[in-house]
Amino acid sequence: MIKVGKVLVFLTTAMVLLCGCSSTELEERNFPLAAAVTWEETGGYQMALGFQRVSDVADQKTEKENRANIAAAGTNSYELFEEADAKNPGKMDYNHIKALVIGQELLFHSEQLADFLDFVEQQNVIARSTLLFTCKATPEELMACGENLEDNVGNYLKDLITSSQDHKSDAAVTLGDLLKAYHNQDEMLMIPELGLDSGQPVIAGYEVLCGFTPAGYLTSEQGEQLLLSCGELLRYGIAMEDGSLIQLSGIHCQYEIRGNGAQVDETVWISGNIKRFAGEIPENMEELFADELTKQAQEQLREQGIDLTNSYYKLGGYDRTAYARYASDYPAYLANLRIQYVCRFHEI
């Protein structure tokens, strides 16, 4: 009898203490699916959040008012999220955000971006697997274009990236990649830039960060070359000057990085299967393509200081002497880097 009493007391105490679940009622939470953040000299941080349209998922309205988009501002990241939390009834749950768009003003101000990333990381606000974009438009303009879409902005942007048949699944840039670039300071990160085409977001190009410093801009074609050089593509379409269309698949990349005094010579071997879609495959296809890739890579190094092969963080594994020379000097490494491509294709 005493034992039964002890068990009852224990169970009752446990039920009383297990009251944490009361704060997680789904009806009391708001789940933004997209977030756009930027920074202005005068206004500080600006953020817009896009939500699921309730009418899309429910036949009747919920008891609380649920707006499609909300905007918030703050002089620092803490104030920004506090205002966002205050503007909508219920508790915000940012863990379901599918796409985070960082405005170019914020991207080009490393100090403010670092402050935002520190807050997001320490407070565990947004999941690391959230897809990352950048754009020139203001957060409100970007979220407003959700009116022109069949789905909400978050799902639309997620489908924009994940629906690609040519990219490997881990080629998508995420918030975790940006946090990694922020801490490691030795990687190149290519963030898709969103443009608006007939009111709908499209990927217009890529903003590149080298060692967490804005380096330049790449067009879609140049971005594809970067992904090819980094082994992130499943398929790559090659349009030759004579009008031939060739598809490269089964792509495999190998690298060799060797120091030659102050200069660093990198050779990238690209191998794969080629298939003709139109025209004829030139006999010297491998040399032509390798020369074109080499020319593009050298041009980007010279003009924008962008390494299309993202080789800096790999240096330690290939040449310790060069690593010791350029360990904390990414710009000097880029200035002394020479890239050469070699292609080996098998026709199928």
Partner 1 sequence: MFSDNQKISNRQLIRLLDYDALGISTLVLPTALTRILGKDAVFAIGLALLPAFFMIPMLQRAVKKLRQGGLPGWVRYPAGIFYSVEGCLLAAYGAYLLGDMITKNLLVEESFYLVVLFIFVLGGYGISHGIEGRARIYELLYWILLVPLILMLFLAARDVDVDLWTPIATHGIRELLQGTGMVFLFYMISAAAFFLTPYLRKPDCAGRCCRKSMVFAAGINAVVCLLLTGIFGERTLRTMDYPIITLMSMVKLPGGFLERQDVFMVAIWFFTLYAFVNTGMFFASDLPQKLWKRSKKGIWIGCALVLTFLFTVCIYRYAVCRTIFVSIQYGVVLPVSLLLLFILCIRRKKI
Please report, as ranges, the residues that interact with partner 1 according to CB under 8 A: 10, 13-14, 17, 20, 23, 121, 124, 127-129, 169-170, 176, 179-180, 183-187, 313-314, 316-317, 320, 323
Q: Is 143 within 8 Å of 36 (Cβ atoms)?
A: yes
- The dihedral region occupied by 279, where left means phi > 0, alpha psi between -120 and 50, and beta the remainder, is left
Q: How far apart are CA 79 and CA 56, in angstroms?
A: 31
H helices of 18-151, where?
54-57, 77-87, 104-107, 110-122, 139-144
As measured in angstroms, the least distance from the Cβ of 213 to partner 1 is 16
Whole-angstrom distance, CA of residue 307 vs CA of residue 325? 18
CA pair distance 270, 86, nearest whole angstrom: 53
Closer residue to partner 1 in complex, CB, 179/342: 179
Closer residue to partner 1, CB minimum distance, 182 or 345 = 182
CB of 314 to partner 1, least distance (A): 4
Q: For partner 1, which is the closer residue by CB, 68 or 253?
A: 253
Kindly state the smallest distance separating residue 142's Cβ from partner 1, in Å: 25
Enter the tokens of residue 338.
Answer: 């020479």
User: Sign of dihedral through CA atoms 175, 317, 250, 307?
Assistant: positive
**Are 277 and 247 spatial neighbours (Cβ–Cβ below 8 Å)?**
yes
Strands (E), 182-299: 188-197, 200-210, 213-219, 235-239, 245-260, 263-278
Measured from the CB atom, is 23 or 165 closer to partner 1? 23
Kindly state the smallest distance separating residue 238's Cβ from partner 1, in Å: 27
Closer Cβ to partner 1, 75 or 169, answer by number = 169
Six-digit token pair at 49? 């959040």
Question: Considering beta carbons, is residue 89 or 195 the nearer one to partner 1?
Answer: 89
Q: How far is the CB of 312 from partner 1 (least distance, A)?
A: 10
Shortest reach from residue 128's CB to partner 1, in Å: 6
Q: 302, 286, 167: which is closest to 226 by C-alpha?
A: 167
